[in-house]
Amino acid sequence: MNQENQVTGATVWLTGLPSAGKTTIAYELATRLREEGHRVEVLDGDEIRTFLTAGLGFSREDRHTNVQRIGFLADLLSRNGVKTLVPVIAPYADSREAVRKRHQASGAAYLEVHVATPVEVCSERDVKGLYAKQAAGEISGLTGVDDPYEAPESPDLRIESHTQSVQESAAALHALLAERGLA
């Protein structure tokens, strides 16, 4: 194990629809990276909304603010040698681009990963019951259904989580990190 890699931070932003598999893949990768001796944090979007961005709604402006706050924290951690995995929808391209630019300005590595799971598959998985609630008219503004999701045009990696296992998805992401000298 290369000692230098242990202190090289990076942000890996996993974007995709609700129930795409972002968080599951992030935790699988985190386990592997920790086993290799890396310092790792997972900034789970649901946890962040509970603690760091409580009070924000789901308007475009609030979603942008949420993403920028998470991006700030991810950049801070990454600059301090932590592999920061961010499974957060971040539905708007301009919000994600602002986070990328923040990382570029600070010199921190940043990778954007699109967990490109079709909405039909996400709806079947429906981990949090959001698709069912939206279909029943209980909620509105569900990303990718009745609220926009701007898929990345040229992510660093596109994962088709519906065609491969969680382990295969995490391995593909680990391979990208290794290729970039980050794992």
Which residues are documented as binding site for ATP?
16-23
The neighbouring-strand residues paired with 113 are: 14, 157
Cα 28 from chain centroid (whole Å): 13
Question: Minimal CA–CA distance to 9: which of 95, 112, 82?
Answer: 82
Cβ neighbours of residue 16 closer than 8 Å, sequence gap 6 or more: 22, 89, 114, 115, 116, 117, 161
Q: Give one DSSP letter per residue of 1-47, joined into a string.
A: --HHHHH--EEEEEE-STTSSHHHHHHHHHHHHHHTT--EEE--HHH
Asked if 130 and 142 count as a contact pair (C-beta separation under 8 A), the reply is yes
Which residues contribute to the annotated binding site? 16-23
> Which phi-psi region, left, alpha or beta, contains residue 87 (left: φ > 0; alpha: ψ -120 to 50)?
beta
